[in-house]
Structure 1
Amino acid sequence: MPARTPRADAVVNRARIVSSARAALVASGGSVDGLRLQAVAKDARVGQGTLYRHFPTREHLVAEVYRQEMGDLVQTVPALLAEHPPLRALELWLDRLLEYARVKRGVVAAIEASAWQDLYADNEKRLDHALQTLLDEGAEAGDVREDVDATDVILLLGALSRVPEGEWVARAHTLVTVILDGLRRYR
Structure 2
Amino acid sequence: MQPPGDVARFDRFARYYERLMPASDVGPIQAGLVLADRELHRVLDVGGGTGRAVRALGIPERVVVDAAPGMLAEARRRGLGCVLGDAARLPVADASVDAVLIVDALHHVADRTGALAEAERVLRPGGVLVCREFDRSTLPGLLLATGERLVGFDSEFFTPDELAFAVERVGLDAAIPVRGFGFTVAGVKR
- TM-score with structure 1 setting the length: 0.31
Quick check: which one's strand share is greater?
A: 2
- TM-score with structure 2 setting the length: 0.30
